[in-house]
Chain A
């Protein structure tokens, strides 16, 4: 492994994907690309935690139905979410006879799941793997910030946690989109301590990972049709452009940010855009995957970013460490 980057020799293909979102995401610019949506983000459950778990369960059932697979056909599921002790994933997997591996890298969890799954498939010992992450605005808000009904104001840098679940089914044989290489991220901390300013905390991590990726693969940003960072938000992605320029790499029109793409509306209502473990997952599994299947996009680099803080660490005056993983997707005709 050089420059934190690995090339996968075997075919690691996306067999199918599924997404389910809340009402606000459905109204967003990407609304039409999501498979399923819920009208009420409580889903008739008694708490928002149960609602997030219910969404996750419904999505798994939908994906299994869609692909006509049984629980036992899946060798393992790699899941993560933002709740304490990742109960969202733990309680989801209580409903399925699928071996389970739980992951946490905050909002970069999806990248982590994909990379580990790719390594597992590369060994040839497993056949099919399911990667999924979930997040919910109302559960994240109470865990990281304030109660929902508290009359506080959003700062101009705040982001809205995305409500939704996305899942990717990986296998070795079927599919048109392949994971061809990946760059594992390091934990980067430049000393940002404002918990409302996640974009600034995560932008340096995204830069480190992208620099390592371009150095490791010998590619340039022009190689990709689309480069997507996880959830830096509008201001955070502008910051990343400046940071990359400092290192002599210009990010062009093919660069965008999943968080900035997620919501419609003025800054007063949606802040800098979406965030959360499901954010990069939903954008990839809906919009990007469907465009790649149609052939409108052939090479895509997904860089989910995560801020690795907890409420306790920030109260104790710690700065915010961040991580970003890069996963490169290529349409199969282009592969090798």
Chain B
């Protein structure tokens, strides 16, 4: 009786409402684009204010600024509404990363600082960090080995 019922699963796929891909993609594009435009705005502002700063410094400063803004917005309970509207448009930029660190930290604060907040801070962002570090090590090794061959 409790075998997977293929006919039923087919019926479910037919009957249940599906994500409206077009409208969600348009919204993701708009929100993601807006976040990137704001970032570029900060970048240009810093460039104008500090003309002698190297491009690396400007980029880091821009990232830090929009991450700070996201963290504050998350704290005030605004960013989840932006996320609910924009979907991936608000997750893919670095603001999504900042949000995914601050949100669990806020929620787990009540279970204590060490075992609550610190333990769960990276419960969602953790995989991103692990894959980021692993991928950069692999790419670094490849560059180290094959550098003389191509460049």
Contacts and interface: CB of A to CB of B under 8 A. Distances in A.
Contacts of A190: 2, 4-5, 8-9
A187 B2 CA distance: 8
Nearest to B96: A151
A192 B103 contact: no
B99 interface: yes
Given A188-B1, A197-B12, A235-B16, A151 B102 contact: no
B147 interface: no
Consensus secondary structure, chain A interface: loop
Interface stretch (A119-127, A152-160, A168-176): A152-160
Interface bin, chain B: 35 or more
Nearest to B76: A149
Nearest to A138: B107
Interface stretch (A11-19, A53-61, A140-148, A222-230): A140-148
A191 B4 contact: yes
B87 A153 contact: yes
User: Most chain-A CB neighbours within 10 Å: which of B18, B20, B80?
Assistant: B80
Contacts, number: 98
Consensus secondary structure, chain B interface: helix
Contact of A149 (B4, B74, B96): B74
Interface bin, chain A: 20 to 34
Nearest to A234: B17
Contacts of B107: 142, 147-149
Contact of B80 (A148, A191, A200): A148
Given A46-B110, A197-B16, A200-B16, A149 B80 contact: yes
B91 A147 contact: no
A47 B107 CA distance: 9
A199 interface: yes
B79 A151 contact: yes
Contact of B12 (A146, A152, A187, A239): A239
Given A156-B19, A204-B8, A151 B124 contact: no
Contacts of A149: 74-75, 77, 79-80, 99, 102-103, 106-107
Contact of B83 (A152, A155, A157, A242): A152
A189 interface: yes
B100 A150 contact: yes
A38 B148 CA distance: 70
B24 interface: yes
Interface string B12-51: 1001111110001000000000000000000000000000
A319 interface: yes
A153 B84 contact: yes
A291 to B, nearest CB: 30
Identify the 8 closest CB pairs spanning chains A and B, nearest first.
Answer: A151-B83, A191-B4, A149-B103, A147-B103, A150-B103, A190-B5, A147-B107, A153-B87
28 contacts: A147-B124, A148-B103, A148-B107, A149-B99, A149-B102, A149-B107, A150-B80, A150-B83, A151-B74, A151-B79, A151-B81, A151-B82, A151-B90, A153-B83, A156-B19, A157-B16, A189-B2, A190-B4, A190-B8, A191-B6, A192-B8, A192-B9, A197-B16, A235-B15, A235-B16, A235-B17, A238-B15, A239-B15
Interface of B: 1-6, 8-9, 11-12, 15-20, 24, 74-75, 77, 79-84, 86-87, 90-91, 96, 99-100, 102-104, 106-107, 110, 124
